[in-house]
Amino acid sequence: NAGVTQTPKFRILKIGQSMTLQCAQDMNHNYMYWYRQDPGMGLKLIYYSVGAGITDKGEVPNGYNVSRSTTEDFPLRLELAAPSQTSVYFCASSSQIGSNQPQHFGDGTRLSIL
Amino acid sequence: GQQLNQSPQSMFIQEGEDVSMNCTSSSIFNTWLWYKQDPGEGPVLLIALYKAGELTSNGRLTAQFGITRKDSFLNISASIPSDVGIYFCAGQKETSGSRLTFGEGTQLTVNP
């Protein structure tokens, strides 16, 4: 059972470089989310999507971009990496809208900006 | 932004002891969720609460949705070493597009 798959698991970037964090889910979920988790902190929402072609900003969207061309994939793009973006990034998905549809999380991408 | 106050931040207990942690908010949530995160992994859902006053159990775990809809607690009975991890509460509103607001976590250490 794959669930939510994130790649890569680890990455080190230099300041100013760009990269795309990949997220794919095989549960046919409409809702997908990107969070970041800083050391000793809870998760903060970066962007989310309620379906293919639709994305919205979360709590901390600055410095990131997303796209949702298919139901399965929700990549997160860093255009100009900054040290403040060093964090662990989690992708999640859930099915139709409603409070009884909990989110399922991937195992995270650990990103360091040096 | 929304904030959930989760306490305690950390706990060190002996195997076999019971554990209690809680979350409070200044605003109302329609759903309360409790997740556990093991090192190097993503959060895994433990218990979901959908109704004010609801008390739900999952094995040795029990959680309650506060009557005011502004708080929730999680109890773990007879702790074992594999209970070690970070426990997060999360609140969800019907109007938020299923977005979750997370607490800052409770780090649990269980000494054998």
- The verdict on A77 touching B (C-beta cutoff 8 Å) is no
Q: What per-residue confidence (pLDDT) applies to A102?
A: 77
Percent of chain A with pLDDT over 70: 94
CA–CA distance, A77 with A93 (Å, rounded to integer):
18
Q: Is the pLDDT of residue A96 over 80?
A: no
Q: With bands split at pLDDT 50, 70 and 90, how would you rate the model's confidence at B1?
A: low
Report the residue of chain A nearest B92, measured CA to CA.
Answer: A99
- The verdict on B39 touching A (C-beta cutoff 8 Å) is no
Q: With bands split at pLDDT 50, 70 and 90, how would you rate the model's confidence at B104?
A: very high
What stretches of B38-104 show up as alpha helix (H) in DSSP? none
Q: A10-54, pLDDT tens digit by residue? A: 999 999 999 999 999 999 999 999 999 998 788 999 999 989 999
Q: What per-residue confidence (pLDDT) applies to B15?
A: 97
Q: With bands split at pLDDT 50, 70 and 90, how would you rate the model's confidence at A100?
A: low
Q: What per-residue confidence (pLDDT) applies to B98?
A: 66
Q: What is the distance, to the nearest Å, from the Cα of residue A74 to the centroid of all Cα atoms in its chain?
A: 7
What's the average model confidence in pLDDT over B53-79? Answer: 96
Q: What per-residue confidence (pLDDT) applies to B16?
A: 97
Q: A42-59, pLDDT tens digit by residue? A: 899 999 998 999 999 998
Q: What per-residue confidence (pLDDT) applies to B13?
A: 95
**With the CA atoms of A84, A90, A91 and A95 taken in that order, what torsion angle do they form, in degrees rounded to the nearest 10?**
-130
Q: Is the pLDDT of residue A103 over 90?
A: no
Residues 61-80 of B with CB under 8 A from A: none
Handedness of CA B80, B103, A54, B28 (dihedral sign): positive
Report the residue from B44, B50, B97 with minimal CB separation from A48: B97
Mean pLDDT (chain A, rounded): 92
Please give, rounded to a whole number of angstroms, the shortest distance from the CA of A82 to a CA of chain B. Answer: 23
- Under 8 Å CB pairs connecting chains A and B tally to 67
Report the residue from B88, B92, B99 with minimal CB separation from A58: B99
